[in-house]
Amino acid sequence: MTVRVLISDKMDPKAAAIFRERGIEADEKPGLGPDELGAIIGNYDGLAIRSATKVTKALLEAANNLKVVGRAGIGVDNVDIPAATARGVVVMNTPFGNSITTAEHAIALMFALARQLPEADASTQQGKWEKNRFMGVEVTGKTLGLIGCGNIGSIVPRGALGLKMKVTAFDPFLTPDRADELGVDKVELDELLRRADFITLHTPLTDQTRNILSRENLAKSKQGVRIINCARGGLIDEQALKEALDSGHVAGAALDVFESEPATASPLFGTAGFISTPHLGASTSEAQVNVAIQVAEQMSDYLLLGGVTNAVNMPSLSAEEAPRLKPYMALAEKLGKLAGQILGEDVRSVSVEVEGAAAQLNQKPITGAVLAGLMGTYSQTVNMVNAPFLAKERGLDVREVRHDREGDYHTLVAVQIGTSKGPMPVAGTLFGNKAPRLVELFGVEVEAELAGTMIYIVNTDTPGFIGRLGTALGEARINIAPFTLARREAWGEAVALVAVDGDVPAEVVATLTKLEGVRDVVPLRF
């Protein structure tokens, strides 16, 4: 039976060539509208895209034969990943193929801002020769602030340090050792804003990073700061940035990405000191070739051999391992997600320990699932494949321990999270080799299913707490589902995991925090 792939965006011809060399029928049809694409997508096993094609829920519902979507590039915000997962469609990207290109573009925009190059060029070509009008600034000796120091953000300092700049970085996962290795000063966001002469963003767009340069944070920035964004639109409040440019607080800004794209209109257009490019961060011939080759090879391996590489919604697995490892990885990801949501940025190391039946399996996918859950709290681009690489890149100490001993459970996955306050262990097992269950939370024995929306509460074990909690949730019209309560000792610290129906608004969290005896409240989603 013939395997067919549709290339629906303009892509280097080498991608189609690789598909055909491996016996896959490849059709190149860039520029199709949503209706046109929907009418033919059912004929294909694979869909290779860049950023133009929108893989929506509606498109996926029409894709009866689709097995894999391959994104030639890193960003997958044009793919409805939950919908793809629900339909059993693997979504792959090429997270490292255009890193150097994007980092170089950020540096180029920094120079353009420093020396007002676009305005000077336009003026000169108009025959004005306004030599005294364009007084630039040197970058040497200035402080560059990196918001995000991952794959791309860790490349930028090499160029900046070569220019004799000072580099500060804000990144929740950047460890002191990794910062020293890169030659950057790890700081909190407020400190970066206070010190930086240039700010460049290299972080994905998440709930935590949306409008990270808000009106409030822009006001905290250094007078005369210059700002560059080659990462994702939505990281900067564009209206607030315009006002800061107009007031002179921000001396210049260069954006390659916008909240709404294509950016045919923006409050920033026409503003003095503003430079824009049409999402060119990955647009070099080298990067286009690299990502096209990578996506074609990855998709071919999956369609022909079952191999999975750089998937955002499933781990790297062989066909033989997958059935046995799947429930363990589901458990591991939930443990990581639980720890990440509760501990936040205070993660220094991760130790993944397996015993019993789990000790007989390939531990790498289990560790990858833990890291994906842990780091996925902050980045939508983290997956079970690239999470170990990203953790290493940020200097996280990740260890794997395999125990041959028989413990209290026939199988156990235990995760020790190193924090500034010491180790914070979580552990889980499988019931019937299928159903994941939490059995330990930060040293307290519990038994709970991690699913849906939950509330984590630490309180003092005193009479009346459950009544106060139930009343508060009832008054907020939040229905309690399964409820787990455990304690270290009588009258001591107690831990509650409360499953609820629906979301938990911030005002409810604030109300619960004020209850007598409550020490901590964290809403959880699984």
Active-site choice (232, 238, 297, 333): 232
Characterize the bridge pairing of strands 250-255 and 225-229: parallel
Indicate if 261 belongs to the active site.
Answer: yes
Say how far apart CA 220 and CA 385 lie, in whole Å: 37
Half-sphere exposure of 343 (CA within 13 A, CB side): 30
Q: Going by C-beta distance under 8 Å and a sequence separation of 6 or more, which residues neighbour residue 245? A: 252, 253, 268, 271, 272, 273, 274
Contact 394, 181 (CB under 8 A): no
Sheet holding 68-71, edge to edge: 25-28, 4-7, 46-49, 68-71, 90-92
| Cβ atoms < 10 Å from Cβ of 349 | 16
Nearest to 25 by CA among 50, 51, 7: 7
Indicate if 232 belongs to the active site.
Answer: yes
Cis peptide before 157 (omega within 30 of 0): no
Nearest to 360 by CA among 411, 312, 313, 394: 411
CB burial of residue 324 (10 Å; 0-12, 13-18, 19+): middle
Nearest to 424 by CA among 379, 384, 458: 458
Indicate if 105 belongs to the active site.
Answer: no
Active-site choice (61, 216, 261, 406): 261
Nearest to 441 by CA among 409, 419, 415, 466: 415
- Positive or negative, the CA dihedral 70, 74, 80, 85 is positive
Cα Rg of the chain (Å, integer): 25
Active-site choice (195, 202, 226, 279): 279
User: Which secondary structure element, helix H or strand E, spans residue 334, and what is its range?
Assistant: helix 322-343
CA dist list (Å): 427 to 353, 368, 487, 522: 9, 16, 16, 19
The DSSP-derived string for 227-256 is EEE-S-TTSB-HHHHHHHHHHTSEEEEEES
Catalytic residues: 232, 261, 279
